[in-house]
């Protein structure tokens, strides 16, 4: 069984300061992990993904995430926040389902990032 | 060109009505999905189709019936709409791979409000 826990429902930072969005997962298999971003009234856009290659994954817009198996974490970071980063961020785990053997996504509950000027 | 498109973008309707949401992808993917996002932003998969075949059918009321006329389209028909059906419905597609986590591409969402 898989699950995803986003530890903060809401994070507020000042423009130009670092961003840290935390995510922990549990999985029976070696999972694939994703971060998606949803801007207000928009669809979801892939930021980055981990698929058992390099543990430090670089994504779009300066975001990166590090897969730490020992801590079962996949935290999302960015060195310097921009106003346009204000959005909802979802941590997502993908692993084969027990019933079908096909991969399915399980979403975290989301973290709303607010960027103050 | 829009990769995954949904129509309509907004849908306001009365309880008891029947409505459909359409989804089309031009990415050549073989797998399509419907997700429901509730008022708390929680996203949950409803259905998944692979090459027009139903693969995943979560615990969704029978009032919801997906239809895939071809692998580029996955429509969602909802009968006897209820207040609790109000949500944002997202369509997504991916090219399924057995060993590597596939990226799902999402549509812009359909905001359904049942009055």
Look at chain A and report how many structural domains it folds into.
1
Q: What's the rounded Cα separation, in Å, for the pair B49 and B42?
A: 21
Mean pLDDT confidence for B60-77: 92
Answer whether B109 sits within 8 Å of A43, measured CB to CB.
yes
Cis peptide before B19 (omega within 30 of 0): no
Answer whether B55 sits within 8 Å of A46, measured CB to CB.
no
CATH assignment at residue A66: 2.60.40.10
What residues of chain B lie within 8 A of the CB of A45, using their CB? 106
pLDDT tens-digit series, residues A82-95? 999 999 999 998 87
Domain boundaries, chain B: 4-114
Q: Which of A100, A103, A97 is nearest to B54 (CA)?
A: A100
Residue B100 has pLDDT above 60, yes or no: no
Of A41, A45, A104, the CB nearest to B56: A104
- The pLDDT of residue B87: 95
Of A49, A100, A112, the CB nearest to B56: A100
- The pLDDT of residue B99: 44
pLDDT tens-digit series, residues A48-75? 999 877 889 999 999 999 999 899 999 9
Q: What are phi and psi of B4, to 5 degrees?
A: -125, 120
Scanning every residue of chain A, which has its alpha carbon at the shortest distance from the alpha carbon of B48?
A104
Position with higher pLDDT, B81 vs A40? B81
In which band, very low, low, confident or very high, does the pLDDT at B2 lie, cut at 50, 70 and 90? low
- The pLDDT of residue B1: 59
- When mean pLDDT is compared over A29-38, A46-55, B11-20, the highest value belongs to B11-20
Domain hosting residue A78, numbered range? 3-116
Answer whether B48 sits within 8 Å of A103, measured CB to CB.
no
Scanning every residue of chain A, which has its alpha carbon at the shortest distance from the alpha carbon of B89?
A43
The yes or no reply on domain B4-114 and CATH 2.60.40.10 is yes
- From the CA of B9, how many Å to the nearest CA of chain A? 10
């Amino acid at each position: 069984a898989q699950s995803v826990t986003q530890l903060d429902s809401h994070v507020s930072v000042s423009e130009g300061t670092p961003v840290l969005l935390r995510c922990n997962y549990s999985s029976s298999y070696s999972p694939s992990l994703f971060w998606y971003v949803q801007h207000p009234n928009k669809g979801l856009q892939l930021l980055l993904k981990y698929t058992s290659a390099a543990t430090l994954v670089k994504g779009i817009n300066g975001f990166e995430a590090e897969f730490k198996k020992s801590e079962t974490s996949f935290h999302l970071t960015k060195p310097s926040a921009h106003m346009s980063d204000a959005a909802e961020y979802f941590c997502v785990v993908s692993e084969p389902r027990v019933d079908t053997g096909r991969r399915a996504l399980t979403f975290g509950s989301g973290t709303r990032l607010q960027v103050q000027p | 060109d829009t990769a995954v498109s949904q129509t309509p973008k907004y849908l306001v309707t009365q309880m008891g009505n029947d409505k459909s949401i359409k989804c089309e992808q031009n990415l050549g993917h073989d797998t399509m999905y419907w997700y429901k996002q509730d008022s708390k932003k929680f996203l949950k998969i409803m259905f998944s189709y692979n090459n027009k075949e139903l693969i995943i059918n979560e615990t969704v009321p029978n009032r919801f019936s997906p239809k895939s006329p071809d692998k580029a389209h996955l429509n969602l028909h909802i009968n006897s709409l209820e207040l609790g059906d109000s949500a944002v419905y997202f369509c997504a597609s991916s090219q399924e791979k057995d060993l590597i986590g596939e990226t799902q591409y999402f549509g812009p969402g359909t905001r359904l409000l049942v009055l």
